[in-house]
Amino acid sequence: MPTPHNSAQPTEVAKVVLMPGDPLRARHVAETFLHDPRLFSSVRNMLGYTGTYEGVPVSVMGSGMGIPSICIYSYELYNFYDVDTIIRIGSAGGIAPQVQVRDVILGQAASTTSSVIDQFGLSGTIAPVGDYGLLERAVESARRRGIAYHVGNILSTDLFYRDDSAFDKWADMGILGVEMELAGLYLNAAKAHKKALGIMTVSDRPLTGESLPAEDRQNTFDDMVKIALDVAVG
Protein backbone atom coordinates (compact mmCIF):
# COMPACT_ATOMS: atom_id res chain seq x y z
CA MET A 1 0.00 0.00 0.00
CA PRO A 2 1.15 3.62 -0.49
CA THR A 3 3.44 5.18 2.14
CA PRO A 4 3.73 8.81 3.31
CA HIS A 5 6.44 9.33 0.67
CA ASN A 6 5.42 7.02 -2.18
CA SER A 7 1.98 6.76 -3.78
CA ALA A 8 2.71 3.58 -5.75
CA GLN A 9 0.87 0.33 -5.34
CA PRO A 10 3.24 -2.58 -4.51
CA THR A 11 2.90 -4.11 -7.99
CA GLU A 12 3.97 -0.85 -9.66
CA VAL A 13 7.59 -0.98 -8.43
CA ALA A 14 10.11 -3.40 -9.96
CA LYS A 15 12.40 -5.64 -7.91
CA VAL A 16 15.39 -3.54 -9.02
CA VAL A 17 15.40 0.24 -8.55
CA LEU A 18 17.97 2.70 -9.88
CA MET A 19 18.21 5.66 -7.51
CA PRO A 20 19.73 9.01 -8.51
CA GLY A 21 19.57 11.87 -6.05
CA ASP A 22 17.86 14.24 -8.48
CA PRO A 23 14.24 13.34 -9.37
CA LEU A 24 14.69 15.08 -12.74
CA ARG A 25 17.56 12.71 -13.48
CA ALA A 26 15.19 9.86 -12.63
CA ARG A 27 12.86 11.22 -15.29
CA HIS A 28 15.75 11.51 -17.77
CA VAL A 29 16.78 7.90 -17.16
CA ALA A 30 13.21 6.68 -17.52
CA GLU A 31 12.54 8.60 -20.74
CA THR A 32 15.96 7.87 -22.30
CA PHE A 33 16.60 4.25 -21.40
CA LEU A 34 13.38 2.50 -20.35
CA HIS A 35 10.69 1.17 -22.65
CA ASP A 36 7.16 2.39 -21.88
CA PRO A 37 8.07 4.14 -18.59
CA ARG A 38 5.14 4.93 -16.32
CA LEU A 39 5.12 7.36 -13.42
CA PHE A 40 4.25 5.54 -10.19
CA SER A 41 4.82 8.35 -7.70
CA SER A 42 5.28 12.12 -7.62
CA VAL A 43 4.81 12.69 -3.89
CA ARG A 44 6.92 15.74 -2.88
CA ASN A 45 8.04 15.82 -6.53
CA MET A 46 10.28 12.79 -5.87
CA LEU A 47 9.55 11.16 -9.21
CA GLY A 48 9.49 7.38 -9.62
CA TYR A 49 9.01 5.43 -12.84
CA THR A 50 8.81 1.79 -13.91
CA GLY A 51 9.51 0.50 -17.41
CA THR A 52 11.52 -2.28 -18.99
CA TYR A 53 15.12 -2.56 -20.17
CA GLU A 54 15.93 -5.44 -22.50
CA GLY A 55 12.57 -6.88 -21.50
CA VAL A 56 13.29 -6.79 -17.76
CA PRO A 57 11.19 -4.58 -15.41
CA VAL A 58 13.31 -1.80 -13.91
CA SER A 59 12.28 1.17 -11.76
CA VAL A 60 14.07 4.47 -11.24
CA MET A 61 13.31 6.88 -8.40
CA GLY A 62 14.98 9.93 -6.90
CA SER A 63 16.41 9.80 -3.38
CA GLY A 64 16.94 13.46 -2.62
CA MET A 65 20.13 14.78 -1.06
CA GLY A 66 21.84 13.29 1.97
CA ILE A 67 21.70 10.17 4.11
CA PRO A 68 18.43 11.06 5.91
CA SER A 69 16.61 11.41 2.60
CA ILE A 70 17.92 8.25 0.93
CA CYS A 71 17.26 6.33 4.15
CA ILE A 72 13.55 7.23 3.96
CA TYR A 73 13.09 6.19 0.33
CA SER A 74 15.27 3.09 0.40
CA TYR A 75 13.70 1.87 3.67
CA GLU A 76 10.23 2.10 2.18
CA LEU A 77 11.28 0.41 -1.06
CA TYR A 78 12.97 -2.48 0.74
CA ASN A 79 10.43 -2.99 3.50
CA PHE A 80 7.07 -1.88 2.08
CA TYR A 81 7.50 -2.57 -1.66
CA ASP A 82 9.62 -5.73 -1.40
CA VAL A 83 12.36 -4.32 -3.63
CA ASP A 84 15.35 -6.67 -3.78
CA THR A 85 18.05 -4.35 -5.15
CA ILE A 86 18.74 -0.62 -5.16
CA ILE A 87 21.54 0.81 -7.29
CA ARG A 88 22.54 4.36 -6.45
CA ILE A 89 23.54 6.38 -9.52
CA GLY A 90 24.91 9.78 -8.62
CA SER A 91 27.88 12.11 -8.53
CA ALA A 92 30.94 12.14 -6.31
CA GLY A 93 33.97 14.29 -5.74
CA GLY A 94 37.17 12.43 -6.50
CA ILE A 95 39.83 12.80 -3.80
CA ALA A 96 42.28 9.96 -4.54
CA PRO A 97 45.12 11.10 -6.84
CA GLN A 98 44.35 8.46 -9.47
CA VAL A 99 40.66 9.38 -9.73
CA GLN A 100 39.93 11.82 -12.54
CA VAL A 101 36.90 13.86 -13.52
CA ARG A 102 34.49 11.77 -15.66
CA ASP A 103 35.72 8.48 -14.15
CA VAL A 104 33.20 6.12 -12.54
CA ILE A 105 33.61 4.94 -8.94
CA LEU A 106 32.09 1.62 -7.89
CA GLY A 107 31.52 1.76 -4.16
CA GLN A 108 32.89 -1.41 -2.59
CA ALA A 109 32.32 0.11 0.86
CA ALA A 110 31.10 3.36 2.37
CA SER A 111 32.81 5.10 5.26
CA THR A 112 30.87 7.94 6.84
CA THR A 113 31.00 10.94 9.13
CA SER A 114 27.28 10.51 9.85
CA SER A 115 25.77 9.30 13.12
CA VAL A 116 23.31 7.12 11.19
CA ILE A 117 25.13 4.01 12.42
CA ASP A 118 24.23 4.81 16.03
CA GLN A 119 20.61 3.75 15.57
CA PHE A 120 21.59 0.09 15.27
CA GLY A 121 22.98 -0.10 18.80
CA LEU A 122 26.12 -2.01 17.83
CA SER A 123 29.02 -2.32 20.24
CA GLY A 124 31.50 -1.32 17.54
CA THR A 125 31.60 0.44 14.18
CA ILE A 126 30.13 -1.46 11.26
CA ALA A 127 31.71 -1.11 7.81
CA PRO A 128 28.81 -0.85 5.31
CA VAL A 129 29.60 -2.66 2.05
CA GLY A 130 27.93 -3.17 -1.30
CA ASP A 131 26.76 -6.50 -2.68
CA TYR A 132 29.67 -8.37 -4.26
CA GLY A 133 27.60 -9.97 -7.02
CA LEU A 134 26.35 -6.56 -8.16
CA LEU A 135 29.86 -5.13 -7.91
CA GLU A 136 31.27 -7.95 -10.01
CA ARG A 137 28.70 -7.35 -12.75
CA ALA A 138 29.41 -3.61 -12.67
CA VAL A 139 33.14 -4.20 -13.16
CA GLU A 140 32.43 -6.54 -16.08
CA SER A 141 30.15 -3.95 -17.67
CA ALA A 142 32.64 -1.09 -17.29
CA ARG A 143 35.41 -3.18 -18.81
CA ARG A 144 33.25 -4.30 -21.72
CA ARG A 145 32.11 -0.75 -22.44
CA GLY A 146 35.60 0.74 -22.07
CA ILE A 147 34.56 3.09 -19.26
CA ALA A 148 37.27 4.28 -16.86
CA TYR A 149 36.39 3.01 -13.37
CA HIS A 150 37.76 2.57 -9.86
CA VAL A 151 36.64 0.15 -7.15
CA GLY A 152 37.03 0.97 -3.48
CA ASN A 153 35.92 2.89 -0.42
CA ILE A 154 33.68 5.96 -0.58
CA LEU A 155 33.16 8.62 2.08
CA SER A 156 29.53 9.55 2.77
CA THR A 157 29.41 12.89 4.57
CA ASP A 158 26.48 14.77 6.07
CA LEU A 159 27.75 18.22 5.08
CA PHE A 160 28.35 19.63 1.60
CA TYR A 161 29.69 22.93 2.96
CA ARG A 162 32.02 22.59 5.93
CA ASP A 163 34.91 24.53 7.45
CA ASP A 164 37.33 21.59 7.60
CA SER A 165 36.72 18.73 5.17
CA ALA A 166 40.04 16.95 5.88
CA PHE A 167 39.62 15.23 2.52
CA ASP A 168 43.39 14.88 2.22
CA LYS A 169 43.42 12.71 5.35
CA TRP A 170 40.62 10.52 3.99
CA ALA A 171 42.44 10.19 0.67
CA ASP A 172 45.56 9.11 2.55
CA MET A 173 43.48 6.26 3.99
CA GLY A 174 42.53 5.04 0.51
CA ILE A 175 39.16 6.76 0.12
CA LEU A 176 38.44 7.28 -3.59
CA GLY A 177 35.76 9.93 -3.43
CA VAL A 178 33.19 11.74 -1.33
CA GLU A 179 29.39 11.90 -1.66
CA MET A 180 26.38 12.13 0.67
CA GLU A 181 24.17 9.04 0.46
CA LEU A 182 25.82 5.66 0.01
CA ALA A 183 26.47 4.68 3.64
CA GLY A 184 22.80 5.15 4.47
CA LEU A 185 21.74 2.97 1.56
CA TYR A 186 24.20 0.20 2.43
CA LEU A 187 23.09 0.19 6.06
CA ASN A 188 19.41 -0.04 5.10
CA ALA A 189 20.21 -2.87 2.70
CA ALA A 190 22.12 -4.76 5.39
CA LYS A 191 19.31 -4.37 7.93
CA ALA A 192 16.67 -5.49 5.41
CA HIS A 193 18.88 -8.35 4.12
CA LYS A 194 18.64 -6.90 0.62
CA LYS A 195 21.17 -5.83 -2.03
CA ALA A 196 22.66 -2.45 -2.90
CA LEU A 197 25.44 -0.93 -4.95
CA GLY A 198 26.71 2.60 -5.50
CA ILE A 199 27.85 3.71 -8.95
CA MET A 200 29.05 7.31 -9.01
CA THR A 201 30.41 9.60 -11.72
CA VAL A 202 33.24 11.90 -10.64
CA SER A 203 31.95 15.42 -11.27
CA ASP A 204 34.74 17.35 -9.54
CA ARG A 205 37.98 17.05 -7.56
CA PRO A 206 37.69 19.06 -4.33
CA LEU A 207 41.42 18.96 -3.57
CA THR A 208 42.42 20.45 -6.94
CA GLY A 209 39.42 22.63 -7.78
CA GLU A 210 38.82 20.82 -11.07
CA SER A 211 35.14 20.49 -12.00
CA LEU A 212 33.16 18.95 -14.83
CA PRO A 213 31.44 21.62 -16.97
CA ALA A 214 27.66 21.48 -16.69
CA GLU A 215 27.20 20.98 -20.43
CA ASP A 216 29.45 17.89 -20.37
CA ARG A 217 27.72 16.09 -17.51
CA GLN A 218 24.82 14.53 -19.41
CA ASN A 219 26.77 12.12 -21.62
CA THR A 220 29.24 11.20 -18.90
CA PHE A 221 26.46 10.42 -16.45
CA ASP A 222 24.77 8.28 -19.09
CA ASP A 223 27.84 5.99 -19.06
CA MET A 224 27.16 5.35 -15.37
CA VAL A 225 23.50 4.63 -16.12
CA LYS A 226 24.45 2.08 -18.78
CA ILE A 227 26.59 0.20 -16.24
CA ALA A 228 23.73 0.28 -13.72
CA LEU A 229 21.27 -1.08 -16.27
CA ASP A 230 23.68 -3.87 -17.22
CA VAL A 231 23.82 -4.77 -13.55
CA ALA A 232 20.03 -4.55 -13.18
CA VAL A 233 19.30 -7.03 -15.96
CA GLY A 234 22.45 -9.12 -15.44
The tens digit of pLDDT for each residue in 130-182 reads 999 999 999 999 999 999 999 999 999 998 887 777 999 999 999 999 999 99
Cα(19)–Cα(85) distance, rounded to whole angstroms?
A: 10
Give the number of other Cβ atoms within 10 Å of residue 55's Cβ: 7
Reported as a pLDDT band with limits 50, 70 and 90, residue 45 is very high
pLDDT of residue 218: 57
Give the rounded percent of residues in the chain with a pLDDT score beyond 70.
97
Domain assignment present for residue 2? The answer is: no
CA atoms within 13 A on the CB side of 58: 26
Domain assignment present for residue 3? The answer is: no
| Cβ proximity of 27 and 95 under 8 Å | no
Span 188-217, mean pLDDT? 91
Catalytic residue among 84, 158, 204, 222: 204
Domain assignment present for residue 65? The answer is: yes
Beta strands in the chain (DSSP E): 16-19, 35-41, 48-53, 56-61, 85-94, 104-112, 149-156, 175-179, 195-205, 210-211
Domain assignment present for residue 4? The answer is: no
Span 23-42, mean pLDDT? 97
Helices (H) and strands (E) in the chain, counts: 6, 10
| Domain that includes residue 224, residue range | 10-233
Beta bridge partners of 16: 85
Q: Give the pLDDT confidence of 72-119 residue by residue, as tens digits.
A: 999 999 999 999 999 999 999 999 999 999 999 999 999 999 999 999
Q: What CATH number corresponds to the domain at position 86? A: 3.40.50.1580
Domain assignment present for residue 171? The answer is: yes
Task: Provide the 3-class DSSP secondary structure of residue 21.
Answer: coil
The number of residues making up the chain comes to 234
Residue type, 46: M
Domain assignment present for residue 32? The answer is: yes
Domain assignment present for residue 1? The answer is: no
The least confident of 36-50, 66-80, 94-108, 216-230 is 216-230
| Domains held by the chain: number | 1
222 is catalytic: no
Q: Give phi and psi for 205, each to the nearest 5.
A: -130, 95
Domain assignment present for residue 214? The answer is: yes
